[in-house]
Amino acid sequence: MDIEAVRWAESGQALEIIDQTRLPEAEIRLQLDSAEATAEAIGSLRVRGAPAIGIAAALAYAVEAARAAPAGKAALRERLPRVYDVLVSARPTGVNLRWALDRMRGVAEGMPDAGAEAIAERLRAEATCILEEDRAMCRRIGQFGLPLLPENARVLTHCNAGALATGGIGTALAPIYMAHEAGQGVQVFADETRPLLQGSRLTAWELHRAGIAVTLVADVVAADLMRRGMIDLVIVGADRVAANGDVANKVGTYALSVLAKHHGIPFYVALPTSTLDTRCATGAGIPIEERAADEVRRGFGTLTAPSDVPVYAPAFDVTPAANITALITDAGVLFPPFDRAIAGLAADTETEPA
């Protein structure tokens, strides 16, 4: 597993991403040496997935600090707020983006007496920490999820919650990569995931590249696969999880949860605990973004519907906790009742030594 969607460039003077807008046609690595270039890459979805975006922003923040430091502390203190603003505006709804940038800013502000080079050095270390923590988080999700996969498991997934969305081996795909590493046999059915086709463009690409058996299907085929007994379990990622275990994720997730329940197939959601939003009591409190009509009417450059026909295009849907078999987190697998399991996790975290 060496995809590394976001990493340091060899020079150490830039970060490096896989340009996801060029997939699956070509695997192009881009070096980004400024906040502006990184913001452009985030805004145009060259780098995507909440964890990967947060990492990219943190690395870019450190890159900018290293560039400004030689000019002295005043120059650094002047540049960093601008860097923060440029990056945070790249994806205004990105929770991980803001979280990573706040963490970087906190480090810089916590060193009022340090010199410019020391601050830049410390920021570089902090960005590396954010990247490494994400990698470790992915592997923990993989380890906790692994026992849920039978030998030669046939897994259905939706959208992309894989290596391309994180600094490591992904969230929903982490147990799959670990099963493959362990040589226990695993086969994946990837929903293409309309309208933006993250399943075909990204998930099929990264699994295929990793040598894992993957079969691409149109979204409507999932139910047929289940009816034919070709699916042992479903694993998807999560955009946000409410205190009661309701999950907001890419539109289409809810349908899969109903279909899995109907066919007696386990339905798992993989997520870092940072995705838990205990301020939302239930999924009803999670706002759902609507996407542009032309993502459906002109999917990939071609007009495939009347140009002025109305479209309803929610980006996400909400899967009720009752449809979920377990939540696979980096702190362990949570089983129902989820409200208690999630509250317990929050309590553990609060009483943990810092």
Q: Give the residue numbers marked as catalytic.
A: 239
- Judge contact between 226 and 265, C-beta under 8 A: yes
Task: State the minimum distance, in angstroms, from the CB of residue 270 to a second copy.
Answer: 19
Which of 61, 144, 205, 268 touches a second copy (CB under 8 A)? 205
Which of 114, 212, 311, 333 touches a second copy (CB under 8 A)? 311
Q: How far apart are CA 12 and CA 223, in angstroms?
A: 48
Per CB under 8 A, the segment of 52-60, 107-115, 191-199, 271-279 that binds a second copy is 191-199
Per CB under 8 A, the segment of 40-48, 69-77, 273-281, 308-316 that binds a second copy is 308-316
- Judge contact between 19 and 62, C-beta under 8 A: no
For residue 351, the 8-state DSSP code is H
- Strand order of the β-sheet with 276-277 is 276-277, 240-242, 247-250, 316-319
Task: State the minimum distance, in angstroms, from the CB of residue 226 to a second copy.
Answer: 9
Task: State the minimum distance, in angstroms, from the CB of residue 324 to a second copy.
Answer: 15
3-state SS, residue 171: coil
DSSP readout, 210-248?
TT-EEEEE-GGGHHHHHHTT--SEEEE--SEEETTS-EE
Give the residue among 42, 16, 20 at the shortest CA–CA distance from 31: 16
For residue 115, the 8-state DSSP code is -
182 binds a second copy (CB under 8 A): no
- Judge contact between 120 and 76, C-beta under 8 A: yes
Name which of 144 and 205 has its Cβ closer to a second copy: 205
Neighbouring CB atoms inside 10 A of 343's CB total 14
Which of 211, 264, 307, 354 touches a second copy (CB under 8 A)? 307
192 binds a second copy (CB under 8 A): yes
354 binds a second copy (CB under 8 A): no
333 binds a second copy (CB under 8 A): no
Which of 296, 333, 343, 346 touches a second copy (CB under 8 A)? 296
224 binds a second copy (CB under 8 A): yes
- Judge contact between 110 and 102, C-beta under 8 A: no
For residue 291, the 8-state DSSP code is P
239 binds a second copy (CB under 8 A): no
Which of 92, 183, 264, 301 touches a second copy (CB under 8 A)? 301
- Judge contact between 324 and 231, C-beta under 8 A: no
Name which of 38 and 203 has its Cβ closer to a second copy: 203
Per CB under 8 A, the segment of 116-124, 145-153, 161-169, 208-216 that binds a second copy is 208-216
Q: Is the peptide bond before 306 cis (omega within 30 degrees of 0)?
A: no
Task: State the minimum distance, in angstroms, from the CB of residue 335 to a second copy.
Answer: 23
Per CB under 8 A, the segment of 77-85, 149-157, 190-198, 326-334 that binds a second copy is 190-198
- Strand order of the β-sheet with 6-8 is 6-8, 15-18, 29-32
303 binds a second copy (CB under 8 A): yes
3-state SS, residue 23: coil
300 binds a second copy (CB under 8 A): yes
Task: State the minimum distance, in angstroms, from the CB of residue 16 to a second copy.
Answer: 22
306 binds a second copy (CB under 8 A): yes
Q: List contacts with a second copy (CB under 8 A).
A: 24-25, 189, 191-195, 197, 200-201, 204-205, 208-209, 213-225, 227, 251-252, 254-255, 258-259, 262, 296-297, 299-314, 317-318
